Structure 1
Amino acid sequence: MNLLFANDKSGHYPPSWYAASTPSLPPFDSLKGEITADVCVVGAGYTGLSAALHLAQAGRRVVVLEAHRVGFGASGRNGGQLGSGQRVDQQGLETMVGNEPARALWDLGEDAKALVKSLIAEHAIDCHLKPGVAWTGSTKADVAHLHDYAAHLQDHYGYDQIETLTADACHALCPSPDYKGGLLDMGAAHLHPLAYALGLARAAKSAGVQIFERSCVHHLDHGTPATLRTDAGRVVADHVILACNGYLSSLAPSVSARVMPINNFIVATEPLGTRTSEVLTRDVAVADSRFVVNYFRLSHDKRLLFGGGESYGYRFPSDIASVVRKPMGIVFPHLKDVKIDYAWGGTLGITMKRFPYLARIGPNVLSASGYSGHGVGTATHAGQLMASAVIGETDGFDTMAAIPTPAFPGGGALRTPLLVLAMSWYALRDRLGL
């Protein structure tokens, strides 16, 4: 089964609050016949659109092929959090690669955050960008780790935009009985993810990028040039960028063995009006310390946007709202009477080490995926890094690509049942508070 078509109506955005709250772009044509390009980008999410925009600005002829609509995948469905650094924290990276490479990766992560903010400003993208992401702990040990991490970033990286939260300060910010403290990163931010993706698409089109929607690539012929085939056409290109994340499927088996698609779910409540103070007293986003992370924020029309729960098969659950109500009820038991207006799922890509997988899979074929829930900044930056690598400036791409990314045990054949077993164990630990 192809994940591109397992849960969604072909060529249509999911019934999310994001799709309901921002005007969509007029549909782009589907590819018909043969076209040539300097670079063909597969996938019109943050990665692909960023790569295309930067390449077009550098004078390259760029074609983007998207199976559905621009921003259709995780880029248009996620929690909208623009986090600092990488998905793996700096202490983990120091253990993984050493102090000097960890510092380089921190700097790249901060470059990613700055890039998103600069693109939004440069192209006047109206996506409700706001500062502030809090990390909360559900146990005293979690809180102690978060406070230690804030001190580590200050002492070793000079990062001074984090405020530590005691239990009282955390409760004053977010009146959840589940949280015992945490930290607030005012250098991080949150935004409307689909509006941001559509803004990138507008900017890419204005820069001269040719975008084709409803043009699913089913075959890639490596070569110089490479050829990409859809049902009704083909592109012949000097370079190829694969920007498909969890939807890559069989186009690049060596990448698919290392990037696992999983499903995550979000709900939007009815507008809360004066009850917003029962969720947050400041307009920041929150992510907690559970292994299966809960994340939430208030929308600009005063809804609670709450993400929680995961699944590892092809199909979304039939009642997404009930799946998300369970963790939402733990975090906000006082909102059990609140109506849910929207519920949707999305597919993202994770790796074994939760670090993105950037790879050169052919002399003229680059791939980036596996953002593991940290994609708003990292995916946008990965697109820029791949664009620079095509032009010949490879330092940033090579730094990211140097991180070892092991294949899941059994590759594509066994990764799903093994991951379900592992995730079930960690979810049980969350429920037991271990």
Structure 2
Amino acid sequence: MFGLRAPEISTGHTGSYYAASVNRKTDYPRLEGDHTADVVVVGGGFTGANLALELAERGMDVALVEAHRIGWGASGRNGGQIIGGLGHDPERFVKTIGEEGVKAIYGMGLEGREIIAERVERYGIECDLKWGYCDVALKPRHMKQFAEWRDFEKQIGNPHTYRLLDRDELKHYVNSDRYLGGLYNDGNGHIHPLNLCIGEAAALEQLGGRIFEQSKVTDIEYGARTVIRTEQGSISAKRVVLAGNAYMGGLVPKLATRVLPSCSSVIGTEPLSEEMAREILPGDVAVCDPRTALDYFRLSGDNRLLFGGLSNYTGLEPRDLHGVMRKKLAAVYPQLADVRIDFAWSGWIGIGINRMPQLGHLSDNVSYIQAYSGHGVCPTHIMARITAEMLAGDPRRFDIMASIRHMPFPGGKLLRRPGLALGMAYYKLLDAL
């Protein structure tokens, strides 16, 4: 497609700010030879690392298998924004999951943030964790939506502070003339996601969990003990959980038809002076606007502005990624129009057609977790926990999520992307009106 290209695919980490500033580089062994385990988890992102860690904390013999490096996919490339909540509008599924199921989903949405805070404190993970978040309004109707949102969070028992901000009040947090106002909350925040994921994997290793990198799963043999195979080895396990999300490829066709890899991109500026950092983001908060193809941004631990967006369903990134993202950045902060861009990268997020995380079983002993629809830092952690609960004998919360039906994307491999890209163009047009 003219002006677009596929995101870089390599065995090592993409050329992101996160990879350049990681606390330690992982070098776990490849899977070679034949092994056994109680549970094998496939996919070394937030979902897989946290599920394996939850199981190791429960005393299970667990192995984590990653095709590239820990945090290689979306978990190590995202905007680093900690956002509570779980999916979109669980009331849509009340006939299936009941009022108690809806209530449980809202509770899980609150719990995800607490798991991250707990992980960071318990295992001493250095990942620039900061609290504070602003949704920002581009149109008057956004402010109305924010007011309704604030009231709803109070209604469902969210203990965190949600405060509506007018244009002048917002500038104490986000100092840009682009926005009409915003909604501040102290329950969300931001983090260095790759350092968090690698720290969680290190905690797993400390508890005796085995980790294999550069070990792409090529085949699954279902049975009383399921065997996952790579090019150089295999593991036979009582239970297997697939957690590769948008990067699973065609390993399981049923799952591939229900998740669409959508591209999102981020740039990282040169380190800003302390004066400039405080000028543009005096509240040091994470920021997001409410459009379909939204902008999101925040400061890194060393005062770089990490600015993301360009979400699209083609799965492709602009060929001139620096130029396109610089233009978007300058629309928010004109004073940074000529700032040096040190990093630019893209990656895939797994989109589900109903925007709810997908959990379920492929057989009696093979389960899966996928499709966070661009909202995964917190939900990955709670989905890992409820899956660990299920594997440990308490399936109640897992079964609520697993009972939600997830349709395959229409159009098959050839037509689903063009159709969805057209749909996104429609919603972008609505955003512009």
Where in structure 2 are the equivalents of 1:236-251 lying within 5 Å? 236-251=236-251
Where in structure 2 are the equivalents of 1:282-293 lying within 5 Å? 282-293=283-294
TM-score by length of 1: 0.93
1:208–1:279 CA distance, 2 compared to 1 (3 A): same
CA-to-aligned-CA distance 1:96-152 (integer Å, 9 cap, x gap): 536543321110111111111101111100011111111111100011111111012
* 2:394 paired residue number: 393
* 2:372 paired residue number: 371
* 2:91 paired residue number: 94
* 2:61 paired residue number: 61
Where in structure 2 are the equivalents of 1:150-189 lying within 5 Å? 150-189=150-189
* 2:352 paired residue number: 351
CA distance in 2, matches of 1:130, 1:158: 19
* 2:252 paired residue number: 252
CA shift, 1:156, in A, is: 4.1
Aligned AA for 2:20?
A
Determine if contact 1:279/1:304 at 8 Å carries over to the other structure. no
SS in 1 for 2:319: coil
1:252–1:424 CA distance, 2 compared to 1 (3 A): same
User: Which range is displaced more, 410-419 or 274-283?
Assistant: 410-419
CA distance in 2, matches of 1:198, 1:34: 26
* 1:408 paired residue number: 409
* 2:233 paired residue number: 233
* 1:12 paired residue number: 12
TM-score by length of 2: 0.93
User: Which range is displaced more, 170-179 or 33-42?
Assistant: 170-179
Determine if contact 2:215/2:230 at 8 Å carries over to the other structure. yes
CA distance in 1, matches of 2:322, 2:303: 19
Q: Which runs of 5+ in 1 are unaligned?
A: 1-5
* 2:217 paired residue number: 217
Determine if contact 1:67/1:217 at 8 Å carries over to the other structure. yes
User: Which range is displaced more, 100-109 or 239-248?
Assistant: 100-109
Determine if contact 1:87/1:373 at 8 Å carries over to the other structure. no
Where in structure 2 are the equivalents of 1:189-338 lying within 5 Å? 189-273=189-273, 274-313=275-314, 315-338=316-339
CA-to-aligned-CA distance 1:226-265 (integer Å, 9 cap, x gap): 1111111111111111010111122222222111111110
* 1:75 paired residue number: 75
CA-to-aligned-CA distance 1:255-282 (integer Å, 9 cap, x gap): 2211111111000111121211342111
SS in 1 for 2:172: helix
CA distance in 2, matches of 1:413, 1:359: 26
CA distance in 2, matches of 1:132, 1:63: 35
CA-to-aligned-CA distance 1:201-249 (integer Å, 9 cap, x gap): 1001111111111100111121111111111111111111101011112
CA distance in 2, matches of 1:95, 1:168: 37
* 2:3 paired residue number: none
CA shift, 1:386, in A, is: 1.5
Determine if contact 2:327/2:337 at 8 Å carries over to the other structure. no
CA shift, 1:72, in A, is: 0.6
CA-to-aligned-CA distance 1:365-413 (integer Å, 9 cap, x gap): 1111111122111112212221221121111211222223222113444
Determine if contact 1:43/1:64 at 8 Å carries over to the other structure. yes
* 1:112 paired residue number: 112
CA shift, 1:160, in A, is: 4.5
CA distance in 2, matches of 1:154, 1:160: 9
* 1:137 paired residue number: 137
CA shift, 1:68, in A, is: 0.6
CA distance in 2, matches of 1:9, 1:407: 25
User: Which range is displaced more, 397-406 or 70-79?
Assistant: 397-406
Determine if contact 2:172/2:283 at 8 Å carries over to the other structure. no
SS in 2 for 1:266: strand
Aligned AA for 2:371?
G
Aligned AA for 2:395?
T
1:188–1:314 CA distance, 2 compared to 1 (3 A): closer
* 1:3 paired residue number: none
CA-to-aligned-CA distance 1:347-380 (integer Å, 9 cap, x gap): 1101112111111121111111111122111112
Q: Which runs of 5+ in 2 are unaligned?
A: 1-5
In the comparison of the two structures, how many residue pairs are matched?
A: 424
Determine if contact 1:131/1:189 at 8 Å carries over to the other structure. yes
SS in 1 for 2:373: coil
CA distance in 1, matches of 2:121, 2:156: 30
- 2:122 matched to 1:122? yes
Determine if contact 1:242/1:366 at 8 Å carries over to the other structure. yes
User: Which range is displaced more, 46-55 or 100-109?
Assistant: 100-109
CA distance in 2, matches of 1:8, 1:138: 32
* 2:428 paired residue number: 427
User: Which range is displaced more, 180-189 or 313-322?
Assistant: 313-322
CA-to-aligned-CA distance 1:18-57 (integer Å, 9 cap, x gap): 1111233341111111111111111101110111111122
Determine if contact 1:17/1:342 at 8 Å carries over to the other structure. yes
* 1:340 paired residue number: 341
